[in-house]
Amino acid sequence: MRTAFKVATVFTGAVACAAAFTPAAEAATTTTAKTQLIEPEIFKKNCAIGPSTTSVVLTRLPSAHHGPTCVGEKGKITLSNTYFSYFCAGNNYGQYWITGDTKPFNFYAGSEFNISARVAAVSIKSWSGGFKCST
């Protein structure tokens, strides 16, 4: 009785092993790996006050009674023509648009400047380095 059990086990193991190497099994593994490579989308949110960040930081005038806005990841996002007084690029490279201007302004990692204008949109193309902005 034991011998028959061993033969069945070896046969079942051989079939399972052969099934693991079929093209269908490989295709399922490849499909699963591809779905995990989703790139994050650009975001806009209120920055946490205090810690520094590698995100783009746009600061409003103190009279606006509103904290800074953070923009991060790759893509383009509109900012509802909000008036900002200061821009910090963090570790990002891209462009921003002033309301009423058709020509975008370029920014690069580590750049900071006073803008005093309504910003219509921000586009982040890439990032590198450890440059951070205060919030």
Query: Does residue 13 surpass a pLDDT of 80?
Result: no
For the chain, the maximum distance between any two Cα atoms, rounded to a whole number of angstroms, is 88
- pLDDT attached to residue 35: 59
Q: Look at 31 and 79; give whichever has higher pLDDT.
A: 79
Q: How far apart are CA 58 and CA 94, in angstroms?
A: 14
Task: Give me the count of residues in the chain.
Answer: 135
Query: Does residue 6 surpass a pLDDT of 50?
Result: no
- pLDDT attached to residue 10: 47
pLDDT tens for 103-135 read: 999 999 999 999 999 999 999 999 999 999 999
pLDDT tens for 50-69 read: 999 999 999 999 999 999 99
The one-letter amino acid at 76: K
Q: How far apart are CA 51 and CA 80, in angstroms?
A: 25
**What pTM did the predictor assign?**
0.70
pLDDT, average across residues 18-33: 50
Name the pLDDT band for 36 (thresholds 50, 70, 90). low
Instruction: Give the residue extent of every domain in the chain.
Output: 2-35, 43-127
Main-chain phi, psi angles of 126, to 5 degrees: -165, 175
Fold of 43-127: Gamma-B Crystallin; domain 1 (2.60.20)
* H or E element at residue 12: helix 2-20
Q: Whose CA is closest to 53, among 96, 105, 92?
A: 92
